[in-house]
Amino acid sequence: MSDDDVVQPVEQPDFEVIAEGLRFPEAPRWHDGALWFSDVYAGRVLRVDPASGAAPEAMAELDTAPCGLGFLPDGSLLILSGTDRVVYRREPDGRLAVHADLSELAAWQLNDMCVDAAGRAFVGDYGDDSAPPEPPRPADLIRVDPDGTAAAAAGGMMFANGMVTTGDGATLIVAETRAVPGRLTAFSIGADGVLTGRRTLCEFDGDVMPDGIAIDGADNVWVASPFTQEILRVDAGGTVDRRLAVPHPYAVALRRPDDGAAGAGELFVCSSPDWRPDVTATQRAGRVLRITLG
């Protein structure tokens, strides 16, 4: 479904800065009472408790570029390291162990990751080092099973980026950032983790290139659109029904209210005025924002 049937007014939400001075924050996840995220070019995974007012705490440091994060059913943190194409597992003592080496499956650098309730990790691939307006090389979406076994899960993805699963765990939704037009693609997840029933949930108009995404209790998908500087909400039927003006959003996470009410809670946004590593090395203007949703 296209989002061009009804043009929603753009809201101007207030936001609070909960972390700043970052190079390029990405992959935020609300877990166990805190926000976890990667500062990609700084090689760090950070944890911050917004209620404490304390500075972010480093939970892992790598010599590579960590991005996608997820948690296994036992609470272990998985870290996707894009440049060496490895999924690491953080052990209880803080050491990093190799959970899965994806170098034989990846076409190029890896980016975001979603870990489902069964402990399966779905991993996206840039495809190549091209930049718009050139199309990327189509690449596979990779599935990593809980034991670290990995295989291609779906082919022909146009820069698979942010991913979420629906509340019942039956559907995987993937942002294809460099599809033309940008789109959300949905798959049915089998009991064995096999993806079937590929379908387009939403195609975006204009310059929207969907990046990181999050999902709420009503299966609305919140989509970061960095180059139009807005966050869009896509309902379960595939219609854009809300737009928030937010500076340079690359990824989002949701903290749902305790009562599980749909559409409410807090939205955390990874924001940066530039994505290029050389610029972020001196600029360090990355921030994490908090928006209270009404």
Q: Which long-range contacts (CB under 8 A, 24 or more apart) does 202-208 make?
A: 202/1, 202/2, 202/3, 202/234, 202/238, 202/239, 202/240, 203/1, 203/2, 203/3, 204/3, 204/232, 204/240, 205/2, 205/3, 205/4, 205/181, 208/181, 208/182, 208/232
* Mean pLDDT, contiguous 10-residue spans, the chain (294 residues): 61 96 97 96 97 93 97 97 96 96 96 97 94 87 98 97 97 97 98 98 95 96 97 97 97 79 78 92 95 92
CA 204/CA 221 separation, integer angstroms:
13
CA 216/CA 103 separation, integer angstroms:
33
CA 81/CA 257 separation, integer angstroms:
31
CA 279/CA 143 separation, integer angstroms:
33
What's the whole-model pTM score? 0.94
Q: What is the CATH number of domain 10-293?
A: 2.120.10.30
239's tokens = 């219609």
State pLDDT tens for residues 130-178: 888 788 899 999 999 999 999 999 999 999 999 999 999 999 999 999 9
Domain boundaries defined on the chain: 10-293
The pLDDT value given to residue 4: 47
60's tokens = 């892992």
Q: Report yes or no: 110 and 102 within 8 Å, Cβ to Cβ.
A: yes
